[in-house]
Amino acid sequence: MSNTLAIIGGTGLTQLEGLTILQAHDVYTPYGRPSAPVLEGVIEGMRVLFLARHGHPHTIPPHKVNYRANIWALQSLNATDIIGINACGAITKSVLDAQLVVPDQILDYTWGREHTFFDGTGDAVQHVDMSNPYSASLRELLIDGAQSSDIDIVKQAVYGVTQGPRLETVAEITRMELDGCDLVGMTGMPEAALARELKMQYASLCVLVNPAAGKGHKVITLKDINEAVANGMVNVLAVLKKSLEAYHY
């Protein structure tokens, strides 16, 4: 069976520019409804699935996203590979001047989220290996897509995932930096782990929208974040389109 790529759009990407929609799938899963209908369409000559993580319009906060329903819905439509788009803050010097990052590791600080399909209500409990949480082949696809587009991208970083929806304190960011985090966001987990449980390839393309608390010189405002998201999504779309050209399916 051929591979099918799904794109999960985050903050600033509730719809995929250039996608010719063939069908909208209103999927009901054993875990409830996903964030939005899954859009099936064609972009750059390739069939893809697209799901707005926070709904369309953007109304679902990070801690209320039904991650299990989202991932299950994509698999039910035969997705084999997922690229998640995540808006993040920059912590370390290695990413502070960057705009796009393809992380290779995760630290999970979230709590209370439904984070596994193996919750004791169905199949036997499984313990999936998360040593390397992201797909090497999808990460390489994104990195090559950026380089082919002459867009700077950080190739390795640790993504620290916080609960949200509030932003972090300076002390929390200091702790995260000591823990080894390079960037901070609110949606990287349990999305990556759920994809791994369903044996789907998963990678994250992070757009950096602000310095994390204590790492900049001014108060972080929603207006500034939204402006940075809008600017960053131009490069995100360019990388996605170039990556799709090289995607083998």
Q: Which two tokens stand for residue 39?
A: 């859009």
Q: What is the pLDDT of residue 18?
A: 72
Task: Calculate mean pLDDT across residues 151-157.
Answer: 95
- pLDDT tens, residue by residue, 12-66: 565 676 778 889 999 999 999 999 999 999 887 788 999 999 888 778 999 999 9
- Beta-carbon count within 10 A of 155 CB: 14
Residue 28 · residue 70 · CB < 8 Å: no
Comparing C-alpha atoms, which of 59, 70, 210, 83 is closest to residue 139? 83
Q: What is the pLDDT of residue 120?
A: 72
Task: Calculate mean pLDDT across residues 97-118.
Answer: 94
Q: Which domains does the chain have, with CATH numbers?
A: 5-246 (3.40.50.1580)
Task: Calculate mean pLDDT across residues 146-159.
Answer: 94
The residue to which tokens 């099936």 are assigned? 40
Q: What is the pLDDT of residue 249?
A: 47
- The pTM is what? 0.91
Q: Which two tokens stand for residue 71?
A: 């991932």
Q: Cα-Cα-Cα-Cα dihedral of 168, 170, 171, 176, to 10°? A: 60
- pLDDT tens, residue by residue, 83-101: 999 999 999 999 988 889 9
pLDDT at 235 over 60: yes
**Amino acid found at 204:** S
